[in-house]
Chain A
Amino acid sequence: MSSHRLVLILAALGVLVAGFVGWRYWPPEDPDDLLTSKDPGKQRQGVVALSEQADTVSGLERIAQTVRNENPRVACLGLRALAASAGPNKQLSPEAVEIAESAVRDPRKVVKVTAIQTLEATTPQLPEDPTVPNIVLKAFVASKSPETRAAAANALAKFQHWDAMEPLLDALEDESPAVRGSAGMAIRKILGLDYGFRANDPLGKRQAVIARLRRDWKAQRPYHQLYAKRVQDKRKEQQ
């Protein structure tokens, strides 16, 4: 083999080795840098990278720090990472629920709403454990922001949380149409019946429906319990 061929082969092998080393050992971009990037593709990579750390204590702490980030957009991406960490079964670990719960108490409205949406997306319909529905119910009752209350009502609708009925009925008289609409939808879901409440109907018509709902709703508790048992039994069968 002539010497120039040998040089060429060695050079090619060098390229191969360098390519492999680069591919294998090139340091990944830090999730924090990715999350603060303005490129949505990089933000997405950051969310995925952060969520992959969620099965370790230090990883969860890192997500918690991200959720507390002073930039609300980064904090929301941290919550997305938390949701992504739920994986295919879409359920959060108790530690992850604690992080989301602290975000629900965050003073920033956008973080609060995103945290509620995160809990909604990672908790099934009619969960046996009422921890998450109760966190959301607490936010629904305590918050004065229409956006937060509407997001919480949407989540309570998914959970079909019976204990939320009384506050939801009160919310039908809220001055915000968004809150009235979401509360009306939640009541429809919980009862499985549509009494005809529409947020934008004239006040008199709305009050008539509210009066009928207030008269009837407690009597429907046994049907809700039967339905909850059916759903939970079916879920166990599928598992």
Chain B
Amino acid sequence: MTFHRQNGFTLVEMMVVVAVIILLVSILLPSFNAVYAIARQAQCAKNLNQIRVAIASMGARNEISHTGELAVSGWRSQLETYLSNSLEVMICPEGFSTRLADDVLANYALRTCSGNTFLYNMPLAEGPACLKRSVSNHGQFFELAFEDIRTSTGDASGDKDFNDVVLTVQITADTAKITLKSFGGGYHWSLVDPDDNILMNDVGKSGPGAGEFYLVTGVSGKFSYGINSLLSDFGPTDRKILLMDYPNDILRIAGTDEIHDNWVSWLEPDGQYEFARHRGRVNVAMVDGSVAPMYPRDIDPTDLELREKYWKP
């Protein structure tokens, strides 16, 4: 009988080796994930720096408003030519927010006047004075029906039929078409933008009638960064926040405009800020050119000291 010494490994040996390799990989994998997360954070910081340079290229005195050089809804596309005609840098590799048309439209309103006397603005959003109805096409088409709450004498004599002003809203891609449908009652209404500029004056009376429309652009889409509305008030070397990872297009903070202040609440189910995409931190670009990851609580503008330090001009 002859014995042959076997070369190579048995099946059991191979299985044990593979199992050990799997064990080691499973231990090391979280470290790899952390490395990739750091790489994504670095890419995001690079994006922010490119946007900051593009803003600086546009001019030192940019202003974010409907009448300013950078528009509230559309500042990104205005920067496109300064970003090699590409808006890729507007998306952080770690994630993005989705702009909802309802949130954008809520900043527009119907200004209600009795004669020349201003009474109130009725936001284009469902509420006590506004009914959202006839919703179709997966929410892309709906009517906003307003009730003119007759309170000029403190009298609640409104008929609650929600037919005093009716607008239709049709959303296609990133544009909302607001069409005047019908009018009643004795007040005067004008469509105004978030900065209170009149877009359609005295609709249904001396101004545009039924069928006339206004297009609001930039109502939906993906984005990762918010820009500070007060950037025109900062000097070029100020260490104030210019851009950061944020779920809204515009950072309106610093107590100058309480109706638009929009620092997002910190509470997510795990107790984190929802926009702290980089392992609990946000990338922040300062006006002076520095970009750094920071914990949201370290720049929280609801803390008066931090507001003074990072936000207030």
Residues of chain B contacted by A66 (CB below 8 angstroms): none
Residues of chain A contacted by B265 (CB below 8 angstroms): 117, 120-121
For the complex, is A7 an interface residue (Cβ under 8 Å from B)?
no
Residues of chain A contacted by B129 (CB below 8 angstroms): 191-193, 223
For the complex, is A24 an interface residue (Cβ under 8 Å from B)?
no
Flag if A44 contacts B147 (CB, 8 Å). Answer: no
Residues of chain B contacted by A86 (CB below 8 angstroms): 269
Task: Tell me, rounded to whole Å, the shortest Cβ–Cβ distance linking A29 to chain B.
Answer: 16
For the complex, is A13 an interface residue (Cβ under 8 Å from B)?
yes
Residues of chain A contacted by B123 (CB below 8 angstroms): 192, 194
Complex CA gap A199/B254 in Å reads: 13
Supply 11 further A-B pairs (C-beta < 8 A) apart from A193-B128, A199-B255, A219-B155.
A12-B17, A41-B280, A77-B271, A84-B269, A120-B265, A192-B125, A192-B127, A193-B121, A193-B149, A222-B156, A223-B160
As a 0/1 sequence over residues 277 to 311 of chain B, the CB contacts with chain A under 8 angstroms (1 = contact) are 00110000000000000010000001010000000
Flag if B16 contacts A9 (CB, 8 Å). Answer: yes
Interface residues of B (CB under 8 A from A): 10, 12-13, 16-17, 19-20, 23, 27, 109, 118-123, 125, 127-131, 147, 149, 151, 154-156, 158, 160, 255-259, 261, 265-267, 269-272, 279-280, 295, 302, 304
Output the nearest chain A residue to B154 by Cβ-Cβ distance: A215
Complex CA gap A12/B19 in Å reads: 9
Complex CA gap A41/B156 in Å reads: 55
Contact partner, B261, options A12, A80, A181, A196, Cβ 8 Å: A181
Total contacts A to B, CB within 8 angstroms?
Answer: 135
Residues of chain B contacted by A185 (CB below 8 angstroms): 258-259
For the complex, is A220 an interface residue (Cβ under 8 Å from B)?
yes
Flag if B122 contacts A198 (CB, 8 Å). Answer: no
Task: Tell me, rounded to whole Å, the shortest Cβ–Cβ distance linking A102 to chain B.
Answer: 19
Flag if A224 contacts B128 (CB, 8 Å). Answer: yes
Interface of A: prevailing SS: helix
Flag if B128 contacts A219 (CB, 8 Å). Answer: no
Residues of chain B contacted by A222 (CB below 8 angstroms): 156, 160
Contact partner, B270, options A48, A220, A230, Cβ 8 Å: A48
Task: Tell me, rounded to whole Å, the shortest Cβ–Cβ distance linking B307 to chain A.
Answer: 10
Residues of chain A contacted by B279 (CB below 8 angstroms): 41
As a 0/1 sequence over residues 2 to 22 of chain A, the CB contacts with chain B under 8 angstroms (1 = contact) are 000100110011011001000
Flag if B258 contacts A194 (CB, 8 Å). Answer: no
Residues of chain A contacted by B147 (CB below 8 angstroms): 223
Complex CA gap A63/B192 in Å reads: 48
Interface residues of A (CB under 8 A from B): 1, 5, 8-9, 12-13, 15-16, 19, 40-41, 44, 47-48, 51, 77, 80-81, 83-84, 86-88, 90, 117-118, 120-122, 147, 151, 177-178, 181-182, 184-185, 188, 191-196, 198-200, 212, 215-216, 218-224, 226-227, 230
Residues of chain A contacted by B266 (CB below 8 angstroms): 117
Task: Tell me, rounded to whole Å, the shortest Cβ–Cβ distance linking A18 to chain B.
Answer: 10
Flag if A219 contacts B156 (CB, 8 Å). Answer: yes
Complex CA gap A144/B223 in Å reads: 40
Flag if B149 contacts A220 (CB, 8 Å). Answer: yes
Task: Tell me, rounded to whole Å, the shortest Cβ–Cβ distance linking A139 to chain B.
Answer: 16
Flag if B258 contacts A184 (CB, 8 Å). Answer: yes
Complex CA gap A47/B155 in Å reads: 51
CB within 8 Å for A223 and B158 given contacts A16-B16, A182-B258, A188-B259: yes
Task: Tell me, rounded to whole Å, the shortest Cβ–Cβ distance linking B67 to chain A.
Answer: 18
Residues of chain B contacted by A8 (CB below 8 angstroms): 13
Contact partner, A199, options B127, B258, B272, Cβ 8 Å: B258
